[in-house]
Amino acid sequence: MTPDDEIRAAAQRAQPPQIDSSRSHDPSNNLKRSDPFQFGSRYLEKGDDVFEFNAWDHVEPDDGFKAYAEAQYEKQRAAPVTDFDKNRFNQDPAKWWDLFYKNNTENFFKDRKWLQQEFPVLAEVTQKDAGPQVVLEVGAGAGNTAFPLIRSNENEHLKVHACDFSKYAVKVMRESEHYDEKYMVADVWDVAAQPDENGNYLPPGLTEGSVDVVILIFIFSALNPAQWNRALHNIYRVLKPGGRVLFRDYGRGDLAQVRFKKGRYMGENFYVRGDGTRVYFFDKDELIQMWSRWTLEKGLQVDTESTSESQPAEPEAPFEVVHMGVDRRLLVNRSSKLKMYRCWMQGHFRKRDGPAATTAEAGQ
């Protein structure tokens, strides 16, 4: 049996927990949600046929699949990437993303039409009377976030800065028929950039405290954990006081993590894909600590052995955690009878505009 067959078999054996029946499957009741951190209301209830729908919300793997996943992680740790490959993939990550976009020019991800539902802040800044609003998308790729945002925009004073550290991705955006310089500018920028010889480290055309909203969708997972501290520093510097960060990324235990084979493990919960791009899988408490305890003076303060409750926010922390949610779904391929457990993390953070932000600014 191949490793892929083993994973498929383990997923098929899993019996997702089913809650007591309490509601119907009337589409008006269970397909959408008004609260973006509720993550749907299609619950898998007792008596339901798991293959009736393509997806179920709030479904955790059963104990059997969790045990299988832990066994997979042990195999991954026992066969990590070589030191040579670790250096190769970490030394120039932009190179691998350039190759990714060159190889997938005709097969980019679908436009993220769900953005304004998941992040109502984006609906606010695109309203007709929203006034001057500056949005920075980090890791913009081929424009699958920026272009839908502009198409739905009614705000004459909106400006979207779509940045990526892949030169090829930026080229794709600039050459797109949807690229409208009135509302959008695409530039090369690394969110973990160190100051250059002139002391510059912010995106082209942006200054400190000039951005209202920063979008981070599947971006921090592509960084080496050693880069998170610098990334937080740069995001903090570019945001206005009161500015917001919209975050979505991979969660620990996602099927993509379980599937990794030998020679892909770079560090705990950190892997390299077959195409050379990197990916990290986050835990909720880890992210809460990351954003509520980071300071300019102390940097990252994350204890992976502790919960967010046992590690309270730093009083002088410049970021406030507005929301932090775990989006767990059971996706189903009804034709092949395949069950896939997915897990994503979704956060909304705010740069404080009170004493904490003032103290942090004074420290630099």
Per domain, the residue ranges of the chain are: 1-59, 78-328+340-351
Residues whose CB falls within 8 Å of the CB of residue 146, separated by 6 or more in sequence, listed in order: 137, 140, 160, 162, 173, 184, 186
pTM: 0.87
CA neighbor of 223 nearest in space, from 172, 170, 171, 290: 290
What pLDDT, on the 0 to 100 scale, is given for residue 354? 64
Q: Per residue of the chain (364 residues), what is the pLDDT tens digit?
A: 676 777 667 766 766 766 655 554 454 444 444 455 566 778 787 778 888 888 888 888 888 889 999 999 999 999 999 999 999 999 989 899 999 888 876 565 666 667 777 888 999 999 999 999 999 999 998 898 999 999 999 999 999 999 999 999 999 999 999 999 999 999 999 999 998 888 888 999 999 999 999 999 999 999 999 999 999 999 999 999 999 999 999 999 999 999 999 999 999 999 999 999 999 999 999 999 999 999 999 999 988 888 888 888 888 899 999 999 999 988 888 877 788 899 999 999 999 986 444 444 444 4
In the sheet that holds 338-351, the strands lie side by side as 55-57, 319-333, 338-351, 239-250, 211-217, 133-138, 158-164, 184-188
Q: Which fold has domain 78-328+340-351?
A: Rossmann fold (3.40.50)
Give the angle subtended at the CA of 155 by the CAs of 149 and 159, to the nearest 5°: 65
- Give CA–CA dist 191/220, Å, rounded: 9
Give the Cα separation of 253 and 280 in Å (integer).
Answer: 11
- Cα-atom radius of gyration of the chain, to the nearest Å? 21
Whole-angstrom distance, CA of residue 289 vs CA of residue 300 = 8
